[in-house]
Amino acid sequence: NVSKLITITPMEDKSITRAIIGKWDIYNIELAIEAKHSKKSFEEIAKYIIDYGPYNANVIKEALGEASVEGLISKLSINSPYKEILAEALDEFRKSGDALKANMLIDKLYYQKLGSLMPRIRNLSPEAATIIKLEIDMKNMLNLIRAKRYALKFSEISEGIIKNGSLDIEELQSIYENAKDVEDVAKNAKVFDLSNEVEIYKKERRLFVFEIGMRNQILSKGIRMLSHTLLSFGTILAYAYIKDIEVLTLRIIIKSKQYALPQDEVARMILWKE
């Protein structure tokens, strides 16, 4: 149970744990925004929802009953710990009408806020700080990969770049502008080895394989690092990453059926090695 992670966290560290597992709130919020924009029903996305906390399945279902994306975001903003983030996302959507841009802004603001806590997180667990930086790297690389797929200029996506990752904006710009295609961006990810995912992408042309590849590497590294720390905070975060593995495995299985991927490829995607 995700909520138990907060319960068992020492009092002085609860705010940090809440901030970190807030990524699952953000995930559900972004899922709802994307679904509303693409006119998907609750039933179509229910299997992807992480059913816990302030943005559980019932809350998402109710929000999807709103008539518009603007209405949905406004609904989710009520008494929300992410009220300021959602207000900016709402402004972005009203200006651009683009759900992807709104979600990119939500990611950016959430991870920048989490990044501001990095000194405290590093004091509690240097390993946890390393993993969070990798999560930020993943978000930035996914933005580069999507942008390259649609032949956007770096200047068109630079505002969506999240600070506090291992790769700064100059490095990301260099990777992007020196790459001729999606495969080049992925090959030069630096902090991730996406060679296997590049080969899958060449055959399937599905961008989601890159997210799966990066998440696999983050989660595998996270479990190894955090499960060997003696700090209680690190142990708690290890449980959080185990939950991530459960969620990602479910998403992989569902996506693989959607795209009719061979079983051997699916098995490689969901394998974490110690």
pLDDT of residue 274: 44
Task: Out of 123, 141, 169, pick the residue that ends a domain.
Answer: 123
Could you tell me if 116 and 178 lie in one domain? no
Could you tell me if 263 and 171 lie in one domain? yes
Could you tell me if 103 and 130 lie in one domain? no
| Tally of CA atoms within 13 A in the half-sphere of 121 that contains its CB | 23
Can you give the CATH number for the domain in which 42 is found? Answer: 1.20.1690.10
Could you tell me if 149 and 248 lie in one domain? yes
Query: Which pairs from 148-154 meet CB under 8 Å and 24+ separation?
Result: 148/176, 148/179, 148/181, 148/182, 148/184, 148/185, 149/182, 149/207
pLDDT of residue 63: 97
Cα 37 to Cα 180: distance, rounded to the nearest angstrom: 31
Total number of domains in the chain: 2
Task: Out of 90, 123, 156, pick the residue that ends a domain.
Answer: 123
pLDDT above 90 as % of the chain: 47
pTM to 2 decimals?
Answer: 0.79
Query: 9: Cβ–Cβ under 8 A, 6 or more apart, which residues?
Result: 16, 17, 233, 236
Among candidate residues 181, 161, 171, 27, the one with its CA nearest the CA of residue 105:
161
Could you tell me if 148 and 225 lie in one domain? yes
Which residue positions in the chain have pLDDT lower than 70?
1-3, 225-239, 241-242, 244-245, 248, 251-252, 254-262, 264-274
Could you tell me if 53 and 164 lie in one domain? no
pLDDT of residue 216: 83
Task: Out of 86, 101, 123, pick the residue that ends a domain.
Answer: 123
Among candidate residues 242, 234, 254, 267, the one with its CA nearest the CA of residue 17:
234
Could you tell me if 78 and 112 lie in one domain? yes
Structure tokens, 229: 């720390």
Could you tell me if 131 and 99 lie in one domain? no
pLDDT of residue 128: 82
Could you tell me if 26 and 143 lie in one domain? no
Q: Which residue bears the tokens 């390993």?
A: 127
Cα 98 to Cα 177: distance, rounded to the nearest angstrom: 24
Q: Which domain holds residue 177?
A: 125-273
pLDDT of residue 273: 45
pLDDT in tens, 196-255: 999 989 988 888 889 888 988 887 787 776 666 555 566 666 667 667 667 767 766 766
Cα 115 to Cα 2: distance, rounded to the nearest angstrom: 22
